[in-house]
Amino acid sequence: MGARVGRGTTGTLIGLLGDLHDLAHTPADAIAELGKGLLRNIGGDAIGIGEVPDFSPGVSAPLVNAIAIGLKTARELEVAIGRPMTQSIDCDPAMVPLRRLTARARGRATTARQSDLISAATVRRSSYLDELTRITGIQDVMYSAIPVGSNARVVSVALWRERARSFRLRDREAMNTFHRAAGSLYPRLVARVGEVVHVVHDLRPSLRKTLDALLAGLTEKEIAHRRQLSTHTVHEYVKLLYTRLGVSSRAELLALFVKAP
């Protein structure tokens, strides 16, 4: 790969790895710290993390147990990782060459920029990448696949950037160095976060709107005023969201959708 990683970035990522080990018993907090740390130190606007049960070349599998950090609405979340979860990761054309690279890496973490994997023409032809750009503003992606266990299961990480800020070779090196060191943490953290996107996808419109308002920082009283509902109705919607998403407080809810700093 040839690019050199700065000492400051490497040291900070090693420190982040230590923090994640300390937080391993609270997966939502650890995932949040992981995402914010990578966004802060490598540079990005959002990050998606999930598992692929079989990442073998030629196998079209869905993304499971996924979470996205840095996206602003339930709609953005659904677009970014909802389709790979409900259909297949192959909705993103970069997955086919990434699987081949991962198979050749023989158990090591594989990291590649979108431009390393597919041409600009392929990006333009992809309905998934087109929708991702239109809804979220994301225009460049860096991918990592971290093998877990002895089979073809991997943890997949996508780091997203808005606007025309392309990832550089040193960004790829920094992300790959970190993922090789942190690989053993991923299966413990991701598996316990749960399939949040599936839940969001199935929410009725009234609950989706309430979730978006909570993510925007509105209080229940403010939501009631804006939507011309009673505070009792909004409170019931919030209770239903807590139940559906498996949380017991607003802090736990926000941890599932934490925004980039």
Phi-psi region of 83 (alpha: psi -120 to 50; beta: other; left: phi over 0): alpha
Q: Contact 129/92 with Cβ under 8 angstroms?
A: yes
- In CATH terms, the fold of domain 203-256 is Arc Repressor Mutant, subunit A (1.10.10)
Q: What is the mean pLDDT of residues 218-226?
A: 92
Q: What is the mean pLDDT of residues 185-203?
A: 59
Q: Contact 256/246 with Cβ under 8 angstroms?
A: no
How would you label 88-126 residue by residue, b for 16+ Cβ within 10 Å and e otherwise?
bbbbbbbbebbbebbbeeeeebbbbbbebbbeeeebeeb
Neighbours of 43 (CB within 10 A): 16
pLDDT at 199 over 50: yes
Neighbours of 38 (CB within 10 A): 26
| Rounded Cα–Cα distance for residues 139 and 120 (Å) | 11
Q: Does the 7-195 domain belong in CATH 3.30.450.80?
A: yes
pLDDT at 261 over 80: no
Which pLDDT belongs to residue 195? 46
Which pLDDT belongs to residue 232? 93
- As a whole number, the mean pLDDT across the chain is 80
Which pLDDT belongs to residue 144? 93
Per residue in 62-96, pLDDT (tens digit) is 888 777 888 888 888 888 988 898 889 999 999 99
Q: What is the mean pLDDT of residues 46-53?
A: 86
pLDDT at 121 over 90: yes
Q: Contact 210/241 with Cβ under 8 angstroms?
A: yes
User: Could you tell me how far CA 172 lies from the centroid of its own chain?
Assistant: 17
Percent with pLDDT over 90 in the chain: 33
The token pair that represents 58 in the structure block:
């030629």
Domain ranges for the chain? 7-195, 203-256
Q: What is the mean pLDDT of residues 226-235?
A: 93
Sequence-distant (≥ 6) Cβ neighbours of residue 99 within 8 angstroms: 55, 56, 57, 58, 59, 145
Which pLDDT belongs to residue 177? 83
Q: Contact 29/23 with Cβ under 8 angstroms?
A: yes
